[in-house]
Every structure is written in structure tokens, then in C-alpha cells.
Structure 1
């Protein structure tokens, strides 16, 4: 979200007379939802959820680096392609992250854990635009995208290092344990 909002402000600053670029930014952020919504659930149910989270975070980091390079060289079309790819990867991350709750909490606490997870996601959706705006005005486009890249890398490390999967034969039976707690 930080990269998309910051990119929209940057394009409005640089190309104020062409607001179609800001519109394209929002389209590239929303289009993966429409394209991949049927495929995401199947992929999350059939494959290793921790690996999906790790790979999607790596892909998002690489897409952010691609956005930085494309902006530096002024290739706006590549920026939109990388933004689309990043949001496509995010579409696979979210359900796999939410389904990993089953391996972390006890079965009688699924409802409370899902509620807390939804509350955190709602707070991020509520304040994410403000945080992205503050990042853009404080660090500029390159700094805000770099911060977004670093958050993807840190999130990948947390998923990779913190949880150890004991059983994951078919994607349905998961037991995780935090290695640091």
C-alpha cells in the first residue's frame, strides 16, 4: 500500500496535467483482485502456506526494486507492470497468512484470533493511506518505496525464521511453533 499511494502522489506531482497516471496506479492495484480471486483459494489450500508467504514477500520486494529502477529511468509503463505484479503477489499472501492462524492458536480460539487479525488489517486499511502519505512527504518517492521494500524483507524473515512447520502433507494439517518464544 505504501508504494502504491506514494507512487500515486509522485505521479500527480510530476505529471499533474495527466491525471490518467494516478488512475492507472489505482487500476493496477485493483486489477489483480479481479483476475486472481478464483485462483488464490485453490493455491493456498493445495500448497505450503509458509512458502507462499515467503515467495510472495520476495516477489513483492523484487517488484519494488523494479519500480525504483523504472522510476529512475523514467519508464512509466514498467512501473505499472511492476505495481500490478506486486499486488498480484499480495493477493496470494493475505489468504495464506490468515489460514496459518490454524497452526498457531488452539481450535477454541480461532474466532478470537480471526477477529484480532481482522482488526489489525482494518486498522492498517484505515491508517495505511495516512502512513503512506507521511512516508512520501518525508522521504520522497525513492525513500518510501525503499521503506516498503524493507518491510517486505522483514516480513519474509519473520515468517521464515519464527515459525517451524511440523506437519504439512496436504495443506490442511498444520502445526507451527515459534522458535523464539
Structure 2
């Protein structure tokens, strides 16, 4: 635990960014959970509910890589402040939603917020490496990834409660307040990076195109980056399969109802919190590539057990156990891979690389979602879900065999100094 408290106690700026992320993510889960409930109440249509997912997902694919270009141009701290403030303002139209005729406002708000997230996420992930010491980076990434699980546990329950008490207006006000609070925390971050834009290209459009193309090229520049990129694509398809077929898996293969499904999904957050603490505590003792490979391999093995055990029994207990256990290797995977990616990229191009990989992952998830519906009918739910587990097992094994290459080609090329 020494490493964990060392980061939290000594790195003031990182502590502020971490706190801001937890606050805004909690607001995201409050809104996400409440919106899903309210849209169905207003429309009575599952198709309308599915439109929320589409509205939130399209910007990730269309805008992700382009947003990374601007993140590299702009001051990351200022980008995070402005996007949080815009998030708060964009929630105000939800106050006008009273019935099904205004449901288009909900879709527009979700779409615009997802667009803003394409700027916020790469800015946050690109800023973290310059706020902590190089040896603390794995620990910082583990803590940062853990905030989503904590936010899910807190925000999902509050979102359902607020939706029942005050509907969309109350959800909008509370979520806007979390974004304002997050912006206030980031304002207090002292770290600054002065950027000088390259003016060699003729015209803004030409510069934008050149920088965007460069970001895409950097994602596959060298064997280490190509390995990371392919891993993200394969596991992205698997996550799309998982998100599509897990509910049918619980219902058809385990005989569980909606309540059981919700509890099983929530149990992963518990495991993620514990796993994040463990990863943060021992992060500095393990090479990032080793943590990534071991985490992915074990994550896939536990998933395979989860998907195949119904062939022996339909008890729900193993599902809860597996979902809790998978949190530890899941935290290792995220922290290790993020650290490798941050070390493989220079500060001046980190936003473009994050944005391009995010867009590619989004496209891979959409491919998985589209494929799962068809293949689930043709091959069955369990065989298709097994693909997801195998993707992580094989990916983890390959990473472990290449961990020396990943470590050797991952120098720290950071700008600025950590804040004490």
C-alpha cells in the first residue's frame, strides 16, 4: 500500500484530476442509469432505449481520432475544464423534456455529450503521465481506472432513485452539478504545458489532415504499437459480443431474471474496486507489460470458466464468483496496457494516438455487436461468448512472449515535472 499512498499523498495535481474524474463519472452513471429508465417510461419502447446507445456510441467512431489532433494542440488541463463546463450547459435542455414528443432532445444531449467525451478522455489520459513520477505511472493508471467501478456503484443506485423522485429535470441538475464540481477541481491543477503549433503545412485544413493522418500512422508504427493496436481490436470485438449476448446468456443459459442479471453485472464493480487497489499497491513492482499480459491471460481464463460452467450446472453462484474474481486481472490489464501505451507515445502526439485507438476500438465493438446477434442465432450463445474469452487468453499469451520488446521500446518521453 506504500506505493498507493505515495501517489495520493505526494502528487497534488494527480489527486485533483483523480477526484474530478470520480465526481464526473459518478454523474455520468447517475444520468446514464436514470435516462435508460426515464426514456422507457416515456416511450414504452425498447427501440427508443436502444437509440440512447447509438447516440452515445457513434461519436466515438466518427470523432475519436480527429478529436485527438486537437487534444495535442490544446492545453490538456484547459481542455478538461472547458469540456466539463460544456457538459453542464448541454444538460439544461433536458429540463424541457416532459413527454415522448420531446424525446429527440434526449438523443441530442446524449450525442453532444458523447462528442465532448472524445476530447476529454484523451486529454485526461495524456495528462496523467506528466503529473506523476515515471515509477508511479502504473499505480496512477490503476487508481484512475478504478474510479469507473466506484462511480458505477455509487451513481447507478443514485440514478435510479433520482429518476423515480424527480425525473429528467432532477437528473439533469444533479449531473450538471457534478461537472461543475469536477471543473472546479481541475482549475486548481497547477501543471501547465506551453505548446507550439507546427506551421509547415499550408492552411488549417491541410494541417489538420496531416496531423490526423500522422496519428493514425503512429498507431501502427513499430512492432510494439502494432501489437497493442491489434490487441485493442480483437478485445474490442469481444467486448461487443459480450455486451450483446451476456443478458441472453444469464436468461437462457442460467435461467436468471432481470434482478439476477443486474446483480451479476454489479458484482464486477466490486471485484474491480478490489482489483484496482491491488494493482495500485503492487504496480511499481511489476513491469507494465508483464502486468498487462498476466492480467489479460487470467481475465480470459475466468471468462471461459464463466461461459462454459452452465454446461455442468445452471447455478447462479459461480457467475457471481467469476464476475467478482475477474475484477483483479481486469484491473491489471487496464493499468498495464495504459502504462505501456503512455510510454510508447511522446507527449506531443499522445492525444492523437489515444483518439485513433479509441475510434478503432469503437468500430471493433460495433462489429462485435453486429456479429453477435447473427452468430448467436446460428452457433448458439455459449460458443460465441467463448470467442471473447479466447481473445484475451491468446492476446495475453502473445503479450507475455513479447514483454521484453514492449519494455525495451517504451522509454519515458514526458514533458514537464510532477507536482508535489
Report the TM-score, using the length of structure 1 for normalisation: 0.83
Cα offset for 1:72?
A: 4.4
1:120 pairs with 2:176: no
The answer for the alignment partner of 1:99 in structure 2 is 126
Q: Is the 8 A contact 1:166 1:176 kept in 2?
A: no
Q: Is the 8 A contact 1:4 1:26 kept in 2?
A: no
1:53 pairs with 2:77: no
> Aligned partners of 2:107 and 2:163: how far apart in 1?
18
Larger Rg: 2
> Aligned partners of 2:118 and 2:153: how far apart in 1?
19
> Aligned partners of 2:54 and 2:154: how far apart in 1?
21
Deviations 1:137-157 (A, max 9, x none): 344321122100100111111
> Aligned partners of 2:119 and 2:189: how far apart in 1?
19
Unmatched 5+ stretches in structure 1: none
The answer for the alignment partner of 1:42 in structure 2 is 69
Q: Is the 8 A contact 1:3 1:148 kept in 2?
A: yes
User: Secondary structure of 1:164's match?
Assistant: coil
Q: Is the 8 A contact 2:76 2:123 kept in 1?
A: yes
Matched positions, count: 175
1:86 pairs with 2:113: yes
- Counterpart pick for 1:169 among 195, 220, 235: 195
Q: Which has the higher contact order (CA 8 A, sep 6+)?
A: 1
> Aligned partners of 1:48 and 1:81: how far apart in 2?
27
Unmatched 5+ stretches in structure 2: 1-27, 197-346, 349-414
Higher mean C-alpha deviation, range 100-109 or range 169-178: 169-178
The answer for the alignment partner of 2:398 in structure 1 is none
- Counterpart pick for 2:171 among 117, 132, 144: 144
Evaluate the alpha carbon distance shift between residue 126 and residue 95 of structure 1 in structure 2; reply closer, same or farther with a 3 A threshold: farther
